[in-house]
Amino acid sequence: MEQTPFLNRRETILEVRGLKKSFGPKRVLNGVNLKVGKGEVLVILGPNGCGKSTLLRCLNLLEKYQEGEVALRGEVISRGRPEGSGLSRQDRAVECAMRRHFGMVFQRFNLFPHLRVIDNVMSGPINVLRMPRDEAFEVARKALCKVGLWEKHPCDPLTLSGGQQQRVGIARALAMNPDIMLFDECTSSLDPMMTKEVFMVLRELASEGMTMLVVTHDLDFAREIGDRVVFIENGVVSAEGTPEHIFEAKPTPGVRALIEGSLYETRLSRA
Amino acid sequence: MLRAAGATLLLTAASMPLAVVFGLALAAMRISHRRMLSWPAATYIEVIRGTPLLVQLFVVYYTLPQLGNYLQTDLLPRIGVCLETNPLTWNNWAVGIFCLSANYAAYEAEILRAGLQAIDPGQREAALSLGMSERQAFFIIVLPQAFRVVVPPIINDLIAMLKDSCLVSVIGVPELLFKANGIGKARATVAQMLTVAAALYLTLSLGGYALGRLLEKRLSIRGAPELHVDQPHGH
Ligand SMILES: Nc1ncnc2c1ncn2[C@@H]1O[C@H](COP(=O)(O)OP(=O)(O)OP(=O)(O)O)[C@@H](O)[C@H]1O
Ligand SMILES: [Mg+2]
């Protein structure tokens, strides 16, 4: 199948089946199905408010969803639950353990401002993996080197530029050695220069075989980094395929609106 | 007189930490989504804040020993426990510290609640996304940041408590005002003694402010937006 070239070559690492999520009466995701290959970079596009962030947050249970399930390497790691059902202590522990499969990078970085850069990156290994300090330090050093920021390790995070903060955010997630990285508009509060520097980090991660789900509004970014693109609309995946397929060969009306919107924005910003 | 000032200081030093710890528990309950927790906390906070400290002092001082008597002579023997002494014959100091901390806890709870809610929810989410438990996210990530926000108002309350602690003189705790009054009456120098007391209260308060400034400096976070005070301006 020409539409999903990557999946045919690689084993599926993540599968989302029939995921439904409502906020109160408002249905946001209405049966999302998704397969992600190991080492694949999947770009998630869609109009504002279509539920892209919500989808990522459901994957690592920052949001609970009501129906469907998520499987990692064929093993179900979370299931929808009817609203209002309580969690036992054991459920909570399982939830914490399952979040470790995912590394999350936030739009607004969410670094811990009261901890130095190195302590931000060490916070997961020390508190969650219970690593001894020197071992965690080594892990954090490697992660910071990977994003090219080792020399900033003793700094306070808020003294760094946005691009640097985001790279620390990536290092902090990498230090937990996740199976899949989730990026939620990780460059949309950055200027073009800083976007570039974060982009380089993402590309290097991709070349090392990291599986990544990337939510973005930046179509160039999507084109350059995505192995495959899914377009979410009205709570479901309405189109998917390679970037060429989605953008040039067969853009759906929704995709076309997005392309035109972004052209319009570019023109505005140039004017 | 200086000894009495020491007593005032001790009273405050013992009550304030208790108030903050109790206040933190109240604030956590108050924020909770569980009605069973938030409702009692809210009630406690409103009742305490809605009644004068002096009244609370009298209520505790006079009713608790009675409750203790009742426990000792009626209730406990009936379930087979015999006590030789009244379990709740509180001494004045204990009642003083208890009342001050129980009273201030309500105020500190509101300060802490505001402080906790001032922290970006993204902080908790980032912690959870690393695999931390809710408890870890709270104690390692959120609370230390909230602490920084609440230090100035808590220091303000500390100074207020220093002054409010004179109220416990009514139940005979020998603190600054109580002594000043006593010595003054004995030597017929009430006015002078009270002036000295006022001067001592002022000294203690100023010490409190100094402590506050020091703590604020120590706890500040480099690069945090509130601290950009020295931005160059054109003239
Ligand atoms: N906590 C919440 N409570 C109620 N509604 C919410 C909540 N979070 C999101 N929503 C709603 O869910 C819908 C999807 O939101 P979401 O943030 O996932 O969209 P998005 O695709 O990420 O949008 P954007 O492109 O603006 O980031 C929106 O309509 C939003 O109003
Ligand atoms: Mg979003």
pLDDT at residue A96 is higher than 80: yes
CA A169 to chain centre: 12
For residue A116, the model assigns a pLDDT of 95
CB atoms near residue B56 (< 10 Å): 18
φ, ψ (nearest 5 deg) of residue A267: -65, -40
Once rounded to an integer, what is the mean pLDDT over residues A105-133? 96
- C-alpha A207/C-alpha A225 separation (Å) is 10
- Give B 204-223 residues with CB within 8 A of chain A: 221-223
- CA distance, residue A82 to nearest chain B CA (Å): 18
User: How far does residue A46's CA lie from ligand 2's centre (Å)?
Assistant: 10
B134 neighbourhood in chain A, CB within 8 Å: 92
- CA distance, residue A246 to nearest chain B CA (Å): 31
Among the listed residues B12, B1, B2, B7, the one whose alpha carbon sits nearest the alpha carbon of residue B159: B12
| CB-based contact, B145 to chain A, within 8 Å | yes
Domain of B67 in residue numbering reads as 2-219
| CB-based contact, B129 to chain A, within 8 Å | yes
C-beta separation of B23 from B108 below 8 A: yes
CB atoms near residue A140 (< 10 Å): 27
A92 neighbourhood in chain B, CB within 8 Å: 133-134
**Neighbouring residues of B119: CB distance < 8 A, sequence distance ≥ 6:** B142, B145, B146, B149
Question: Would residue B225 count as lying in a domain?
Answer: no
Question: Would residue B231 count as lying in a domain?
Answer: no
- CA distance, residue A157 to nearest chain B CA (Å): 8
Question: Would residue B226 count as lying in a domain?
Answer: no
| CB-based contact, B122 to chain A, within 8 Å | yes
Looking at residue B102, which CATH number applies to its domain?
1.10.3720.10
CB atoms near residue B89 (< 10 Å): 12
Question: Would residue B232 count as lying in a domain?
Answer: no
CA end-to-end distance (rounded Å), chain B: 53
Question: Would residue B8 count as lying in a domain?
Answer: yes
Residue recorded with tokens 């998704």? A34
- C-alpha B8/C-alpha B167 separation (Å) is 11
- C-alpha B20/C-alpha A218 separation (Å) is 48
Angle between helices A89-99 and B121-129 in degrees, nearest 10: 80
Between B81 and A120, name the one with better pLDDT. Answer: A120
Among the listed residues A164, A168, A161, the one whose alpha carbon sits nearest the alpha carbon of residue A119: A168
C-beta separation of A174 from A204 below 8 A: no
A25: exposed, middle or buried (C-beta count within 10 Å: 0-12, 13-18, 19+)? exposed
* Digit-coded pLDDT (tens) for A139-173: 999 999 999 999 999 999 999 999 999 999 999 99
pLDDT at residue A2 is higher than 50: no
Residues with Cβ–ion distance below 5 A, ligand 2 = A 53
Question: Would residue B187 count as lying in a domain?
Answer: yes
Q: Is the dihedral of CA A118, A119, A123, A126 positive or negative?
A: positive
Averaged confidence pLDDT in chain A? 90
Q: Which runs of E-coded beta strand occur in chain B?
A: none
The helix (run of H) or strand (run of E) holding residue B150 is helix B143-164
- Count of domains observed in chain B: 1
Residue recorded with tokens 């690393």? B130
Q: What is the pLDDT along chain B (235 residues), one digit of tens a residue?
A: 777 888 888 888 889 999 999 999 999 999 888 888 899 999 999 999 999 988 888 888 888 778 777 877 787 778 877 777 666 666 788 888 898 999 999 999 999 999 999 999 999 999 999 999 999 999 999 999 998 888 888 988 998 998 888 888 878 778 888 888 888 888 888 888 888 888 888 988 898 888 888 888 887 776 665 533 333 333 3
And the tokens for B217? 């400096």
And the tokens for A167? 């790279």
The helix (run of H) or strand (run of E) holding residue B226 is none
Question: Would residue B146 count as lying in a domain?
Answer: yes
Angle between helices B92-118 and B35-50 in degrees, nearest 10: 120
**Neighbouring residues of B16: CB distance < 8 A, sequence distance ≥ 6:** B101, B104, B154, B157, B158, B161
Ligand 1 atom closest to Cα of A26? 5
Once rounded to an integer, what is the mean pLDDT over residues A102-111? 96
Q: If interface means Cβ-Cβ distance under 8 Å, which residues of chain A face chain B? A: 60, 62, 92-93, 96-97, 99-100, 102-104, 106, 108, 110-114, 123-124, 127-129, 156-160, 172-173, 176
Angle between helices B92-118 and B2-31 in degrees, nearest 10: 50
**In the 3-class helix/strand/coil scheme, how is B84-143 assigned residue by residue?**
CCCCCCCCHHHHHHHHHHHHHHHHHHHHHHHHHHHCCHHHHHHHHHCCCCHHHHHHHHHH
Question: Would residue B228 count as lying in a domain?
Answer: no
C-beta separation of B7 from B175 below 8 A: yes
